[in-house]
Amino acid sequence: MKTATVLIVAIVAQTMGNVYLTKAMKSVTGGGDVLATAMRAASDPMVWLGTALLIVFFALYSAALSWADLSFVLPATAFGYVLNVAAGHYFLNETVTPARWAGSLVITLGVFLVSRSGARTVTQAASLRSDASEISR
């Protein structure tokens, strides 16, 4: 349950961070002057909010990797792709083609299958033995 809760919060933080960052960056771009655009972005609170939410995502993702398998965590967080497509459509007024929605459905099915497999396949002791044997070589 801990893993699921952390991953849900992480995915929501990632989606919200992407939306805020996208909105902000589209509002600060103008012309070809990269330095001026960077300065406008650095002073935009929505850029900072989006970045902070993406840092929250990364911290929670890293925490989940400390107790769950990568082969579980990575596919589980792929549901964020689906939320990002939906958020792009609803909050950023992006046109989402049927092919993108179908791809999101496939990802959702994959996340469901992975979530049924369990978060940990290697016991802590086996993992420590493996680490020790790698170090001794």
pLDDT tens column, 92-123: 999 999 999 999 889 888 888 877 776 666 66
Give the percent of the chain with pLDDT over 90: 48
Cα 24 from Cα 10, distance rounded (Å): 21
* Residue 90 structural domain: 2-136
At 36 the pLDDT is: 83
Q: Which string of DSSP letters, residue by residue, matches 69-128?
A: -HHHHHHHHTHHHHHHHHHHHHHS-----HHHHHHHHHHHHHHHHHHTT-S--S-HHHHH
Which has the higher per-residue pLDDT, 51 or 110?
Answer: 51
Q: How many domains does the chain have?
A: 1
**Average pLDDT rounded to a whole number, residues 42-57:** 96
Rounded average pLDDT over 32-38: 83
Q: Is the pLDDT of residue 125 over 60?
A: no
In degrees, to the nearest 5, what angle opens at C-alpha 64 toward C-alphas 62 and 67?
A: 115
Distances in Å between the alpha carbon of 81 and those of 14, 92, 99, 129? 10, 15, 14, 36
| pTM, entire model | 0.77
